[in-house]
Structure 1
Amino acid sequence: MEVEVPMHSQFHVTFKNTSIIKAINPLSKPQTLSLSNLDLLSGRFPVTYLYLYRKPQAHNFASIVESLKASLAEILNHYYPFAGQIIENPDTSEPEIICNNKGALIVEAQANIPLNRLDLYNLNVSLQGKLVSIDPNFPFQIQVTKYTCGGISVTFTFDHALGDASAFGKFLVSWSEIAQQKPISCIPDHRRKLCARSPPTYHPSLNQTFVKCTIEEIINMPPNNITQKRLYFIDATSINRLQTLASVNGEKRTKIEAFSAYVWKTMVTSIDESHEKCKMGWLVDGRGRIHGEQNSLSNYIGNVLSLATAEATVTELKQISISDVANMAHQAISKVTNEAHFLDLIDWIECHRPGLMLSKTVLGRGGPALVVSSGRRFPVAELDFGFGSPVLGTACSTIERIGVGYMNQRQSARGDGSWTVSAILWPELAAALESDSIFQPMSASLLQL
């Protein structure tokens, strides 16, 4: 059997063509979409998803690209903000989405290697300037890359002001449904209706968690060593074993809580001895929590995220069991997974407008920290655009500076309970995680390429 040897210095991508795709039935006149309070908490970070497909049996690359363009032009009728522009309001300095059908950008590229030689573990050498093209003039852009074996990768990059993972997942599923000539399963809600109460009121603890900031402060975070972009595979057996260890005395912990406990205990072995404490954070989706289940915001296109955080001493985390750490994670997440928290957060932002807001943890204020994002409902295997299901679907990042370690978990395309985990780590944490067998560096063999 051929041995996997990822090609680093030999990996090149040639850009062949760019196209601007517009909705075929646009709005009758441009509209301005003001961002909601929770949109202002997004940080304007680019959000990228990477999907890999084996060589299609019945389609060539040119026909695939044309099919993607045609179905994109159709789905943009429904998701028209994604074909707009994001500009700064001169009076408030806040971003606005101008729904003017300027279009989405599609880039076509050719790689000089087969798909099974792509380095899927070290994303630092695969993404920026190769598999991901970012033009700041387009809030949504796609790159379709063909490999010498006929395999294909597709990257989708969104401006975070357009929405969060739930919104982008709805969009991608709808696009794939259009591509397969199916009716779309989601009628998107673009109203950005998350309004503050009158008068706004909030718990004072939010002042310790969030802070007003500028886009310049976000872009120019102080340099640090959180630079390692990695992709891992975790098999179902490992996940289930962690959940068993974390669930004691009749208290069952979720897989994410158990996973977080393991990562947090590993993290304390990798931080500088000068730090007495460290933090863990969890992104929490407010859909289904705001205004009750009858108004679950399930089709809401925008940002509905908050951040739960917990802090502990390094000594304590080293000494206590994984179940105790999982309990800490559970308690922290529970404080945020309710309507009262999200209504308070919306009001807190209202009291600090105009401008952008962000978690102090994400800005790197307050010591070593790692944030976990669960994408368990994000589409992976079902993202078929008419040329087959993907073998990999994952979040990835082109962010050059980030103030916190980050992990994004989602179901693997296998559908067997295994996970794909995309991470941005400092070198010592990457080494600590890889010293065990749970975090397996992603490879072509794990994807059966």
Structure 2
Amino acid sequence: MEKDGMKMMVKVTKRETVKAVMPLQEYWLPHSNLDLLLPPLDVSVFFCYTKTVVNPNPDGAMVGAPPTFASMIEALKSSLAQVLVSYYAFAGEVVMNSVSEPETLCNNSGVDFVEAAASFQLRFLDLYDPDESVQGKLLPTKRRGVLAVQATEFECGGIVVACTFDHRVADAYSANMFLLSWAEMCRSSKVTIVPCFRRSLLYPRYQNHCYPHHLGIDQMYVTLSELPPSPPRPSKSMQEPDDGAANSSLISRIYCVTASQLQQLQQLASSGVDRKRTKLEAFSSFLWKMLAKSTSVDSGGVGMLTTVSVGIVVDGRTKLIRADMSSYFGNVLSILIGEENASELVERPLSSVAATLHELLHTAATEEHFLALIDWVEAHRPEASMTKIYAKGTEGGGGGGGSLAFVVSSGLRFPMSEIDFGWGRPVFGSYHFPWGGETGYVMPMPSPISNGDWIVYMHLLQPQINFIETEAAHFFRPLNFKYLIHNA
């Protein structure tokens, strides 16, 4: 990787395994019915820290000394070993049981911990294109186990701390709990959030193929045996040398959206209604219309598609009121799906599209929906199941099969500013989730500036990104360190 003639290289300097500081009894942690809806997927998250500046006393004398990379590494490893006592699932490994379902073997096999060095300064990191600058360089590749960690030192004294974890074991809410506890342990040697692994909280109500059909779970989820075979992909000799590769691949980009733009969008989405739509509803509706519009033009070969599907990820912790789920560790997610005709989406006003999305969330994001989903999975076990909208991508639906699909997962509760390991708040942090298939993935997160702006991670097909950057360049602005420094 080069920028302005400067070589930007990252070199691994050390690998080791960090285990829980206390010996743990081997324990098999079953996966809940909601865990079983996740295919093998790895999720990454990274945090950027600038060099710690030591403030002088009024008389000009320096107080203490800034931490060195070696001291930060030692603090990260020792606190990780301690926090793994509570978050023991992250020190285990996923294995298949006798009926070929995944379970987590909590055997304290440990976490892969990688140390690395970057040959450039942190301010030159290309945040806009994480595929090139972050993936495979600053993010650890999980070789084994459930969790991997990498800490990278930059020439300026800055550091990036990154994690990659198995989505079958934890959702983003669970990962955020872990990150908060790890940072807290590193600062103060204590943990205030104790994770709950009680799988009985998500036990099914019914057995033997009993579940409420009227809630439409069959339209949102599917067993793997029900999936049609994937269409054959053309051989390399049959593909166009340029357009073929670009059209079939998804790329990741990170943008900034200002608070004023979000407020304007919310006002447009709330036109003519008594109750204001949320910013997430307005944003998701805007993107739904935008991607529908991209199908009606020549977007590098995407072609004329008939329908556009949007999936909204809903966390069930606040919906399942029969128990306190606030510290539950695992997956408590459902993806609600809306599908509309592409040409009709383009013609409808934003407020109409937002009303459709609002109704979907209002009627489906309920406790009964999550209980029915748990029952649905039980009725189909041990056969593997998954969300239909992800299946659209694995079938190649986004590449010209008559439909286009993307998922919006809110990261607005991402506790970026609280991940302080003792050398200050991160100047930036983001999830990175190139999840495969051809279904897009979008995650809005709060800006580290705490000014109401959003940071938006997008993982979409190249033609969709090209269209968005042409059509809405005023709205989605490529993120860079100038934004972070100027607004700090």
Shorter-chain TM-score bucket reads over 0.9
After TM superposition, the score normalised by the length of structure 1 is: 0.93
Point out where structure 1 has 5 or more consecutive residues left out of the alignment. none
Aligned residue type for 1:116? R
For the Cα contact (< 8 Å) 1:221–1:363, is it kept in 2? no
For the Cα contact (< 8 Å) 1:140–1:158, is it kept in 2? yes
Counterpart-to-counterpart distance in 2, 1:190 and 1:39: 12
Counterpart-to-counterpart distance in 1, 2:158 and 2:427: 11
1:202 to 197, 212, 220: 212
Matched, 1:108 2:104: no
Alignment match, 1:145: 152
Aligned residue type for 1:325? V
Alignment match, 1:162: 169
Matched, 1:25 2:25: no
Give the alignment's Cα RMSD to 1 decimal. 2.3
Matched, 1:288 2:318: yes
Counterpart-to-counterpart distance in 2, 1:335 and 1:42: 24
After TM superposition, the runs of 4+ consecutive aligned structure 1 residues lying more than 4 A away are 5-9, 216-224
Q: Tell me the SS of whatever aligns to 1:445.
A: helix
Tell me how far 1:143 sits from its aligned partner. 0.8
Aligned residue type for 1:254? T
Tell me how far 1:418 sits from its aligned partner. 1.0
Alignment match, 1:238: 261
Alignment match, 2:306: 276
Counterpart-to-counterpart distance in 1, 2:391 and 2:232: 7
For the Cα contact (< 8 Å) 1:11–1:111, is it kept in 2? yes
Per-residue CA distance 1:169-196 (angstroms, 9 max, x = gap)? 1111111111111642211101222111
Alignment match, 2:62: none
2:349 to 314, 321, 334: 321
Q: Using a 3 Å threshold, how does the CA distance of structure 1 residues 32 and 378 change in structure 2: closer, same or farther?
A: same
Q: Higher Cα Rg: structure 1 or 2?
A: 2
1:358 to 386, 393, 405: 386
Q: Using a 3 Å threshold, how does the CA distance of structure 1 residues 110 and 309 change in structure 2: closer, same or farther?
A: same
Alignment match, 1:445: 482
Counterpart-to-counterpart distance in 2, 1:126 and 1:139: 24
Higher share of residues assigned helix: 2
Q: How does 1:82-121 map to 2 (within 5 A)?
A: 82-89=90-97, 91-121=98-128
1:185 to 184, 192, 198: 192
Q: Using a 3 Å threshold, how does the CA distance of structure 1 residues 9 and 425 change in structure 2: closer, same or farther?
A: farther
Matched, 1:396 2:432: yes
Matched, 1:81 2:89: yes
Counterpart-to-counterpart distance in 2, 1:7 and 1:86: 43
Alignment match, 1:228: 251
Q: Using a 3 Å threshold, how does the CA distance of structure 1 residues 218 and 228 change in structure 2: closer, same or farther?
A: farther
After TM superposition, the score normalised by the length of structure 2 is: 0.85
Task: Name which of structure 1's ranges 413-422 and 128-137 shifts more when overlaid on structure 2.
Answer: 128-137
Tell me how far 1:328 sits from its aligned partner. 1.2
Counterpart-to-counterpart distance in 2, 1:86 and 1:319: 47
Q: Percent identity over the alignment? A: 36
Aligned residue type for 2:380? H
Tell me how far 1:336 sits from its aligned partner. 2.5
Counterpart-to-counterpart distance in 1, 2:39 and 2:222: 11
Per-residue CA distance 1:20-41 (angstroms, 9 max, x = gap)? 11111232x2000110000011
Per-residue CA distance 1:319-348 (angstroms, 9 max, x = gap)? 111111111111112233101100110011
Counterpart-to-counterpart distance in 2, 1:218 and 1:161: 24
Matched, 1:384 2:381: no
Q: Using a 3 Å threshold, how does the CA distance of structure 1 residues 161 and 8 change in structure 2: closer, same or farther?
A: farther
2:271 to 221, 224, 248: 248
Aligned residue type for 2:408? V
Matched, 1:211 2:222: yes
Point out where structure 2 has 5 or more consecutive residues left out of the alignment. 54-65, 234-244, 296-301, 398-402
Counterpart-to-counterpart distance in 2, 1:217 and 1:133: 34
Tell me how far 1:412 sits from its aligned partner. 1.3
Aligned residue type for 1:276? T
Q: How does 1:19-58 map to 2 (within 5 A)?
A: 19-27=16-24, 29-57=25-53, 58=66
Matched, 1:414 2:449: yes
Q: Tell me the SS of whatever aligns to 1:429.
A: helix
Counterpart-to-counterpart distance in 2, 1:46 and 1:218: 24
Aligned residue type for 2:457? S
Q: Using a 3 Å threshold, how does the CA distance of structure 1 residues 306 and 220 change in structure 2: closer, same or farther?
A: farther
Matched, 1:61 2:69: yes
Aligned residue type for 1:212? T
Matched, 1:174 2:181: yes
Tell me how far 1:121 sits from its aligned partner. 0.8
Tell me how far 1:44 sits from its aligned partner. 2.3
Counterpart-to-counterpart distance in 2, 1:84 and 1:7: 43
Q: Tell me the SS of whatever aligns to 2:168.
A: helix
Q: How does 1:118-129 map to 2 (within 5 A)?
A: 118-129=125-136
Q: Using a 3 Å threshold, how does the CA distance of structure 1 residues 412 and 125 change in structure 2: closer, same or farther?
A: same
Counterpart-to-counterpart distance in 1, 2:369 and 2:108: 36
Counterpart-to-counterpart distance in 2, 1:217 and 1:69: 46
Counterpart-to-counterpart distance in 2, 1:218 and 1:389: 48
